[in-house]
Chains A and B, each alone.
Chain A
Amino acid sequence: MKPDCGGNGSALRLEGLAKSFYGHLGIGRTVAVEKLDLDVAPGQIFGLLGPNGAGKTTTLKMILGLIRPDRGTVRLFGRPPSDPAARARVGFLPENPYFYDYLTAEEFLDFYARLHGIPRAARRARVADLLARVGLLGRERTPLRKFSKGMTQRLGLAQAILHEPDLLILDEPMSGLDPVGRREVRDLVLAQRAAGKTVFFSSHILQDAEMICDRVAILVKGRVRFEGAMGDLVSRKVLWYEVAVTGGPPGGLPGEMLSSAGAEALFRVGDVEALAGLLTSVQAAGGQVTSVWPRRETLEDLFMREIASGPAREEGR
């Protein structure tokens, strides 16, 4: 008998997951995912980050049972994705979703509510509540062919949380959205966590991930390059300060001048003492400081470093 790979307490557990694709007639092998191990605890927001073609979507599809892995196991709350009872606890939003254009928003959500076995009496109220929640009130009877990309994405999110899943899986949920739409997705993801749910999403938009993730994994060429808690991954230490100055003569001020245009200049200083020195000098020269920006390491810095570095996996704890 095979050992239980569920890992008691894991919302999602991947062990040794691998998948390759073959070209026509089996010629030309492309490795999409290689030896992927991940463990997502309940109640976390987990970001699977990586450049395009890193294997993020393939991983999500293996998690949902849309693709069978060549090797390895997937466990959703201890059950394989082929088990409908496991998928009943999961909500999924694919990348750039497309839904039946001949249905209206209301008909579409009602259809999915039926697939999830939500009783007739509860369906109507649930659908109306969801449409309000994702900002599609007044669009109930609009055919989906008339929906914009942003509206389709909102409807996709409504579909994903329709049955109040314990695990929400989102493939590039922010991609193609305007800043308002991205903010709404972030709020929705945070609301899921506040309700005790788990969210697992893929993204290449790092700022969004940085704002909401508890934990991230960086996937490059099908391998996890880095995995750890967000707070451990990105140092909160200030690396340097960038100071914008106006009015004074930029020459002769301490610090490295990064750029200047007319009476405005941007300086970089390494620490608090140097910053104090620069501020004093600006004041003495009759200029004004318009902004001081402490520059910390961002997820993007880490991301770029990991992509550029070798294949070894680090574990941030």
Chain B
Amino acid sequence: MSASEAPRGRPRPGALDAVFAIAVNTFREGIRDRILYLLLAFALLLIGASRFLSLLTVGDESKIIKDLGLSAISVFGLLTAVFVGVSLVFKEIERRTVYTLLATPVSRWQFVAGKYAGLLAMLATNVVLMSSVLAAILLFRGESPLPLVTAEFLILVELALVTAFAILFSSFTNPILSAVGTAAVYVAGHLSWSFDLLKKRLPPGAGRTLCDVLHAVLPNLDRLDLKTAAVHSLPLPPGEPLWGALYGVAYTVAVLLLSAWLFSRRDFP
């Protein structure tokens, strides 16, 4: 048999087997990372303390607990997505573990997908854990935590989208710029309405076009923010949470495809 023929019965991983293996490894790295525990401890402390903080402020105690709880899940989830997300990809490159990994039959897109899936599993664990503590506090007060579930799920969708940006930036730049870029997308994503407002105040021309482009390109993260509605039991347009989630997922997939493309063109000198 000629040496240039196809491999002889050599086991080959299925496309998703390698993604799964990398995801499990990333998840394992994440949950063995001390930063994660620090962030989680702070978040749980804040959620736990909301009961006491509510005593110090004027207003509906229950609403303050819910508001603080949901905000803590969102903010600490974001910090995890930015810091752990950015550092996990960068560490692979900086410590050169990516050399041996990409020398195996693993494709570049599988690496990106696996890293992302592992990070997402870690974030989901975080959100579920924090939501459970909040639910326990509400149940202890005799209130149902169910009205918050949709808002909590959309926080996870928002974190999924932000993590995709963390992966995107990490695929071509250093961790500091990646962290700043990811945080900037988060902030701009929550202010995307302001581009519309600004456009109306500008004379027709390049400024307006730029506003249109930014408004169209940046994710509209307000669509994924149902915290206020959940806390104050406000009515939502029918189907809005579902459309918001689909919007978030579609956007995430697009950002990941771009990341995989950039990563596949990258050299590792």
Contacts and interface: CB of A to CB of B under 8 A. Distances in A.
A179 interface: no
Contact of B97 (A66, A87, A92, A98): A98
B28 A102 contact: yes
A159 B100 contact: yes
B12 to A, nearest CB: 5
A78 interface: yes
A58 B269 CA distance: 7
A194 B25 CA distance: 35
Given A10-B3, A102-B32, A114-B17, A84 B105 contact: yes
Contact of A77 (B3, B17, B18): B3
Interface residues of A, number: 48
B3 A92 contact: no
B103 interface: yes
Given A115-B13, A115-B18, A166-B3, A92 B105 contact: no
Nearest to A98: B95
B29 A100 contact: yes
B114 to A, nearest CB: 10
Interface residues of B, number: 36
Nearest to B95: A98
Contacts of B104: 87-88, 112, 115-116
A111 interface: yes
A97 B100 contact: yes
Interface string A45-71: 000000000000010010011111000
A67 B269 contact: yes
A115 B106 contact: yes
Interface string B1-36: 011111100111110011001101100110011000
B11 A85 contact: no
A94 B12 CA distance: 23
B96 interface: yes
Contacts of A119: 11
Contacts of B99: 61, 64, 66, 92, 94
B21 to A, nearest CB: 4
Contacts of A213: none
Interface of B: 2-7, 10-14, 17-18, 21-22, 24-25, 28-29, 32-33, 95-97, 99-107, 267-269
Given A67-B269, A103-B28, A160-B100, 9 more contacts: A9-B3, A66-B103, A67-B268, A85-B7, A111-B25, A115-B18, A117-B12, A163-B11, A166-B3
30 contacts: A8-B2, A11-B3, A21-B269, A42-B3, A61-B268, A64-B103, A65-B102, A66-B99, A68-B267, A77-B3, A77-B4, A79-B4, A85-B7, A87-B105, A88-B7, A90-B103, A94-B99, A98-B96, A100-B29, A102-B33, A103-B28, A107-B28, A111-B24, A112-B100, A115-B13, A115-B21, A116-B104, A117-B13, A156-B100, A163-B10
Interface of A: 6-11, 21, 42, 58, 61, 64-68, 77-79, 84-85, 87-90, 92-94, 97-100, 102-103, 107, 111-112, 114-119, 156, 159-160, 163, 166, 169
